[in-house]
Amino acid sequence: MDDERLLRYVEGSLPRQEAEALERALADDAALAQRVGRMRSVHAALHDARADGFGAFFVARVMNRLNADEFNAAALFYDSLRWLFARAVVVGLLAIVALGAANVAEYQELQVAASWVEEAFGLPHVDMDNALALAQP
């Protein structure tokens, strides 16, 4: 006997014919009857313990929070800062990419860079020879 059916019987939502068949089975099966009895007790205990509402002035507490949230200047300031910061980050990243692209274009035209890193970051070309030359007094 599946639990869904037993639960619906306990709840009283099982169709009449099925409920009658189950009652006949209960009359012949003591173990099943005991199982249904315990399920009925658990169901009744849970159902009776159902809370009806929150404490007093619950609606007032909700309204206070709603009003406080809507007119909270600190939260508005924080949200504005977040909005500004997010856009500043995007603009900064775009500027970095644009600067890198401009460097690459310029270095390729001059053909003085030895690698894409030097191109993108606008670094002067340094190899062992000119490093030694620079190091000599």
Partner 1 sequence: MAAVVRGMLGNDAEADDVGQETFILFYRSLDKFRGESAVATYLTRIAINQSLKALNRRRTWLSRFLAREHDDDEFGVQPAETVTGPLDEKERAVRVREALATLTPEYRAVVVLRVMEEYSTRETADMLGIAEGTVMSRLSRAMKKLEPLLGSLR
Q: Which residues are at the interface with partner 1 (CB under 8 A)?
A: 2-4, 7, 11, 38-39, 41-55, 58, 61-62, 65-66, 69
Q: Which is nearer to partner 1, 39 or 123 (CB)?
A: 39
Q: Which is nearer to partner 1, 45 or 135 (CB)?
A: 45
Tell me how far apart the alpha carbons of residues 1 and 10 are, in angstroms, rounded to a whole number: 13
Residue 12 falls in which region: left (phi positive, over 0), alpha (psi -120 to 50) or beta? left
Q: Which is nearer to partner 1, 1 or 27 (CB)?
A: 1
For residue 72, the minimal CB distance to partner 1 (Å) is 13
Nearest alpha-carbon partner for 40 in 84, 63, 8: 8
Q: Which is nearer to partner 1, 67 or 115 (CB)?
A: 67
- Helices (runs of H) and strands (runs of E) counted in the chain: 7, 0
For residue 134, the minimal CB distance to partner 1 (Å) is 58
For residue 35, the minimal CB distance to partner 1 (Å) is 9
Long-range contacts of 104-107 (CB under 8 A, 24+ apart): none
